[in-house]
Structure 1
Amino acid sequence: MPDTILPSQLDAVPECPDCGKPEPFCICNGVDPVENRIDVLILQHPQEQDRLLGTARLTARMLSKATLKIGLSWPSLSKALGREVDPAHWAVLYLGSAKVADLVTDRDVVAIDRKGDLEPSQTAVLRGIEGVIVLDGTWSQAKALWWRNAWMLKCQRVILGPQQLSLYGKLRREPRRDGLSTIEATGLLLTHLEKRPEIADALFGAFDRMLTTYREAVKAHPEFLPKPRPKRDWRRGRKPVRRKS
């Protein structure tokens, strides 16, 4: 999580019941859901509380077949989804330590096995996917979701090799070049699996509008910007003492 705290002024602003963002940051008016064939299940870590720049709820709102669940663990995929499904026909997007750049492939979406190696028949494996699981949170939070839900090993693991950096830019730095927002990752994944570039166009367009609205809102209301936490003297484990002259 960013080393910031939200100001009390923002906490008092009414939020949109659909996207969860404070009203000045909401773009729900005019959002048209995309008809997707492949189901999407977004599992959000409960500590992922970036109301201003988070995209999980917007992603779910943008898709006709999407479910968002908040928590740390579920007994099975069916329990998380709320209906009976076969996890063998689902894929889970989890990068972990795997990188497309380390594999001999030019694909944007890659299916890998438990050892992190390429699945031998990429086209056949990806063609049979009926649903995808996307983990929403920081890198450490996504790792926690992965390890707490052992049933994910029954799903096909996939990773992304995006050609472009995230639209977040300097607003939210990622530790790796292939780090994307939830809405970007979902758009790229569905577009590849369904062979429909209009899905990525719609989701990326909504994300771009969200970022534009964010910049305009904080420019008009600078008091909404996160306040930095007091700096600490990490060597002593306490706040630095200001000496009197």
Structure 2
Amino acid sequence: MSSNQEIPRGDLVEIPECPHCQKPVPLCICDSIEPVDSKVELLILQHPQEQDRALGTARVAARHFENAQVRVGLSWPSLSKILGRTVDPVRWAILYLGSAKVSDYDTDLDILAIDRKGQAEVNQKALLRDIEGVILLDGTWSQAKALWWRNAWMLKCQRVILGPAAPSLYGKLRKEPRKDGLSTIEAAGMVLSALQKRPQIAEALNASFERMLARYREVQSEIPELAPKPKPKRDWRRRGKKK
């Protein structure tokens, strides 16, 4: 759902991209994506500075569903404006971790509904049973936070957090600041599966994610432009020197 690593747009401009997933063509797996039925809608709000076309998963996740879309921007007046129809935001769940961790609560649930004060909701099953759609925030942790604070209407939605049993499949390819920091496609699979009690949804999305990562590892050595740029090393000899 989030990351701490971004690739500048200029790195991949010479490589043609898929018009559907917008990935560089060598990394596209659209031909292997199988449609997945879901009664719950999926809306992915992507921060405009989330530009990791190589390892990003938002559009790959959305490609699985007929009732899914990705919108790019910083703020929207309401959920109804985004969807183009009148909806009740109370019937929509939004995944935003913030400082909350499922491990801090007395629960064995993988997905937990919390209120505005960060307290666990009393009637979890009843609240989550009536969810019509799920909103995911796509970007780095700071970008997700910016989207959360710039859109006050999100507070009307049912906030949920996740407690995955294992860390993201990204592994060393992309470092997450927390164990529960999943890729967008993993988060989508986990939430939609939990809400509909259909583990095959997560299985399908995770399988696509694994294929995407395998494709990346295959072509990374052949196309250096796909590799994230290393951070410049800090010159500790200059530490403490006066300018």
Which TM-score applies when normalising by structure 1?
A: 0.91
Q: Which residue of 1 aligns with 2:209?
A: 207
Correspondence 1:2 to 2:1: no
Alignment of 1:39-188 (within 5 A): 39-188=41-190
Q: Deviations over 1:130-155 (max 9, x none)?
A: 11110000110000000000001111
Following the alignment from structure 2 to structure 1, what is the Cα–Cα distance between the partners of residues 95 and 231? Answer: 33
Report the alpha carbon displacement of residue 216 of structure 1 after superposing the two structures with TM: 0.2
Structure 1 residue runs of 4 or more that deviate by more than 3 Å after TM superposition: 3-8, 229-237
Report the alpha carbon displacement of residue 101 of structure 1 after superposing the two structures with TM: 0.2
Q: Which residue of 2 aligns with 1:192?
A: 194
Change (3 A) 1:4 1:187: closer
Amino acid at match of 1:120: V
Given that 1:56 and 1:182 are in contact with CA atoms closer than 8 Å, whether structure 2 keeps it comes out as: yes
Identity of aligned residues (%): 65
Long gaps (5+) in structure 1: 238-245
Q: Please, which moves more after superposition, 75-84 or 49-58? A: 75-84
Following the alignment from structure 1 to structure 2, what is the Cα–Cα distance between the partners of residues 64 and 158? Answer: 23
Q: Deviations over 1:84-110 (max 9, x none)?
A: 111011111000000000000000000
Q: Please, which moves more after superposition, 13-22 or 24-33? A: 24-33
Report the alpha carbon displacement of residue 176 of structure 1 after superposing the two structures with TM: 0.6
Given that 1:6 and 1:225 are in contact with CA atoms closer than 8 Å, whether structure 2 keeps it comes out as: no
Following the alignment from structure 2 to structure 1, what is the Cα–Cα distance between the partners of residues 225 and 52? Answer: 17
Change (3 A) 1:25 1:3: closer
CA RMSD, aligned part only?
Answer: 1.9
Change (3 A) 1:218 1:107: same
Change (3 A) 1:7 1:141: closer
Following the alignment from structure 1 to structure 2, what is the Cα–Cα distance between the partners of residues 4 and 135? Answer: 18
In our comparison, the structure showing a higher alpha carbon Rg is 1
Q: Which residue of 2 aligns with 1:243?
A: none
Following the alignment from structure 2 to structure 1, what is the Cα–Cα distance between the partners of residues 6 and 192? Answer: 32
Given that 1:166 and 1:180 are in contact with CA atoms closer than 8 Å, whether structure 2 keeps it comes out as: yes
- What secondary structure does 1:137 align onto? strand
Which TM-score applies when normalising by structure 2?
A: 0.92
Amino acid at match of 2:161: I
Change (3 A) 1:113 1:222: same
Given that 1:7 and 1:227 are in contact with CA atoms closer than 8 Å, whether structure 2 keeps it comes out as: no
